[in-house]
Chain A
Amino acid sequence: MAERDRLGRKTTAGGAWATRTVFGVLLLAAFLVPLALRGYWVRLLANVFMFGILAQGVNIIAGYCGYLALGNILFFGLGAYVTAVLMTHFGVPFPVAFAASGAGAVIFSAGIGLLILRLKGQYFLMATLALSELMREVISSLDITGGGRGLTLPMFTGGAATVNNFFYYLMLLLMLACTFCIWLIDRSYLGLAFKAIKFDEDAASVMGINPPPYKTAAWAISSLFTGFAGSAFAYWMGYIDPGVVFEITPSIKMYLMMVLGGAGTVWGPVAGALFIELVSELAWSRFMEYQFLIVGSILILTCLFTPKGLMDLVGKKFTWSLFTKGIRENKI
């Protein structure tokens, strides 16, 4: 049913069935991609889905709970290293190492979260950044992690197409599982508690919510997603070093994807990941020299037009006033 605003105007035009049909077709297409497209596209999309998982990880802590976890790459690196160490030194099979990566990330985030989730706003943001740098230094100086030289994991056995398809479906299913998890949270009391905490922790406690356990839970879920992605990434690449898995750029990128797609929405971060990765890929392949200029301009314009993210456009009529509205409300 279409929702109406105060004046009785429809805020979602066209009915939900159209959105659902488009969604269903996209989902089906996603499952059929490896049958139809070349390896390049399969790898590219697997990478997009990985960023989708990472952006969903940021979504749950920053989008829902309002805690700006800019250094979430910490759990990506942690997950990657847990898998790499277990597989190279202990001969553990991938599924077990994968589960251990998720568990390791959750234990670490829950422990450290009890301490640093007391910080708010930019202070929390800086603490997460510092933690990820700290973790990189620690891993660079340990023997078991191979230090700065990195680790080479056991190869995934099979031809190039099998490898591509395996990681494509792994990333796709993982992303869908994370999104389903967020969808469940969005509809539950847990999600309401997160949203209340994002608005104001005092107001949340007046509702009978004790913020610290909820914030810790949000960060633990966030780290679980991110740790899983790191684990899959390590096995996919076959080689990791601290510089690759603790790099700051992807950390900022997944945050940007979450904001651009729609913070605190179920599908926004996935849409953001798809949008940013495809735009940068196109810009890179077509306009090599100007790629950052083009990507940057597109991102700025998109933020101006839809300050609440791409998901805010779903179901709306594309009129000129819709596009100028974002600019007017930003007072530019």
Chain B
Amino acid sequence: MHLSRQKFPFFYTLNPEWLFRIASEMGAKVVDNKMMLMPTDLAEGMGVFLEVMPGLSVFLIDMSFKKPVAIDRVPQDDQFIAYYDLGEEITTHVLGTTPHRAGYSSRLGMAFMDSCIPTSLLPPINARSYSLRLIISKDLLKSLARPNYPNSVTEQLFDSSQNTLYFYSHIDSRSKILLNQLKSRKIKDGSFEFHLKHTALYLLAYLIERAANFEPIINRVTDREGSAIKQSADYIMANLDKDFVGISLLAEMAGMSVSKYKLLFKKILKSTPKQFYINERLLLAQKLLQSPQFDSLSQVAYELGYNSPRYFINSYVNKFNTYPVLKNSK
């Protein structure tokens, strides 16, 4: 049977106006201008929207959908959106019965983008979705990020005719700790609203500190190009147990020239495709070391397609400054 998704187009406003709009589309109830209670035939759970300070609002959802929906954010001009997903970041699962054929899928839990890039959220059915978004006015971000760059760079960085701010990554440790703490609290608690504001402000500060270390790449990105790069990163992450496919093939898959592909990849993922592959492979190795299914470092190395365990160990030490150790070695 073909599953047709019910579509809900929307865009954010810094005040609760948008919340009322999307709630009435979905048949949800808005309480106190901030809580969105979902109709039980569509989803179980709720969303919380708060205005944190001028130029910054936060929206948290904790719900599990019962029907397939597509929540489409339509392009709009004056904001940035930072998105944090608290699902499992990397899931590993064995395919079939062959012990050495494993399929891995990995996800990047954080996205930051100009609101002129549309997104489509397709939440899983009957599984808990827990995610948080910061809605940041362009003026606020610009004033906070200004001292990180020379004036000439800031002007270009925030000039939307020349540049699109846009990146995907893993959630950094500090943010992850905050988000995990938030997730462990109950939305109905009297203190929750303050915890959420605290989290939102710290996430914003961490985000700006982190972005200050990124090399600014001034380039406009269309949403088609953006999603092609995202898909390309997903492809790399789904094939970490194989050799690196090579830039030319990746560029071809993304429908871009090699030079354009390299530039945009670096802009959005903050590393070259090859570095990204090496990095993700080592992060996956770190996860595999925790898993009981391996008896030796060589097994992990071969599982991830390294030709030599020694090379694997060297790369691991280079990245993490510590030797790989099997957690459950017998």
Q: Do A and B bind each other?
A: no
Contact surface of B with A, Cβ cutoff 8 Å: none
> Which A residues are within 8 Å of any B CB, using their own CB?
none
